[in-house]
Amino acid sequence: MTDTQQPYYILAIDPSLNRTGYCLARVTPQRHRNKVELVEISYIPNIQFGTGEEVWGRKLNHIESRLVQLRNTYRPVVVAKENLATRSHGQTEVLAPVHGIIRKVFESSCEIVGYSPTRIKKDASVSGNADKKQVEQSIAQYIQDKVIVQVDDDVDLTKFRSDDESDACAILLTYLLDKEIIGKLDKR
């Protein structure tokens, strides 16, 4: 990803108007195996603004504010996200502005990489079926095998509070595997 041997950050985002999930990792390039540290897994809550099109602006502003904060604090070199792939016009209308905010915040400062939901499901779990529980198990397995480490041992980053967090971790795993930053675990 980067020519230097300096640590760098990857931000994975699961775009959503109501609860945008994100997963932040620090990668330290090493000769035999890259060191990948999970720094933060969370989501940007927007439920407090209510529902309906009249509150979209406030929700988008809140998402943008938090993403700017993450960008300015960590300076990620890449943002990995789920592509805008929906089955209905209504979903596209809701999700497209969130994708636009991500692009607005990051396109001048880092690479943005998108993955299809199908690719994420395939890559993000040992079994190839990336529901929340499977992603938790995959992350836990990568941590157990010391492929991915937690920055703060007092916080269990393998227990997700929402599907938005697990989806963001699935996107991160897809990126790490795609760019061969880590190797795929054997099926167990």
Q: Return the domain boundaries, the chain.
A: 8-178
User: Which pair of structure tokens corresponds to residue 127?
Assistant: 């079994």
| Non-local CB neighbours of 69 within 8 Å, separated by 6+ positions | none
* Residue numbers of the chain with a pLDDT score lower than 70: 1-4, 86-90, 125-130, 150-158, 186-188
**For residue 155, what pLDDT is reported?**
62
pLDDT at 118: 83
CA angle 175–181–185, rounded 5-degree value: 85
CATH code at 8-178: 3.30.420.10
Closest CA to 67 of 128, 109, 113, 29: 109
pLDDT value of position 137: 79
In this prediction, residue 58 carries a pLDDT of: 95
Rounded (10°) angle between helices 89-106 and 56-74: 30
Report the DSSP beta bridge partners of residue 148. Answer: 36
